[in-house]
């Protein structure tokens, strides 16, 4: 399955819009029912309005009615493994724990699989909302 995810993430990466950083990222999200939903990063001249590949994949999946995810594979432009940023980790955590696969495009490194809870321990979630003022 990770080979399919990698292929999908690499295809999505080709569509990345990264004219400012040149750092094109692709993501492939596996839903609980076996569908693969992809995303790529989209930059903007107003930098805070950019959106990461992982979040675009999640938002696209949610727009298609998906709410349960098994794993996400992320691939960057170079030979290094990259992990989701803190914002993407928080968005992913909204939908429960899943495996995060960090891969690279050259095939020289083995992908690294890490449970999301290891990347974002003590995530803010719906149970924290009950501790309001």
Active site residues: 54
Q: Is 15 annotated as a binding residue?
A: no
Q: Is 46 annotated as a binding residue?
A: yes
Q: Report H helices in 37-110.
A: 53-63, 86-93
Q: Is 45 annotated as a binding residue?
A: yes
**Under 8 Å between Cβ of 105 and 75:** yes
Q: Is 83 annotated as a binding residue?
A: no
The alpha-carbon radius of gyration of the chain (Å, integer) is 15
Length of the chain: 133
Q: Is 88 annotated as a binding residue?
A: yes
d(CA 118, CA 23): 25
Binding site, annotated residues: 41-47, 52, 85, 88
Binding site, annotated residues for Zn(2+): 52, 85, 88
Binding site, annotated residues for substrate: 41-47
């Amino acid at each position: 399955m990770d080979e399919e995810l990698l292929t999908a993430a690499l295809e999505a990466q080709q569509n990345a819009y990264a004219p400012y950083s040149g750092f094109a990222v692709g993501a492939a999200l596996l839903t609980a029912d076996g569908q693969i939903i992809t995303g790529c990063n989209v930059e903007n001249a107003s930098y805070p309005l950019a959106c990461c590949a992982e979040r675009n994949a999640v938002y696209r999946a949610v727009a298609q009615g998906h709410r349960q995810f098994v794993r996400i594979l992320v691939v960057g432009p170079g030979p290094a493994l990259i992990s989701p940023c803190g914002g993407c980790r928080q968005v992913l955590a909204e939908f429960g724990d899943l495996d995060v696969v960090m891969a690279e495009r050259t095939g020289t490194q083995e992908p690294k699989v890490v449970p999301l809870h290891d990347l974002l321990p003590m995530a803010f979630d719906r149970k924290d909302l009950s501790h309001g003022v």
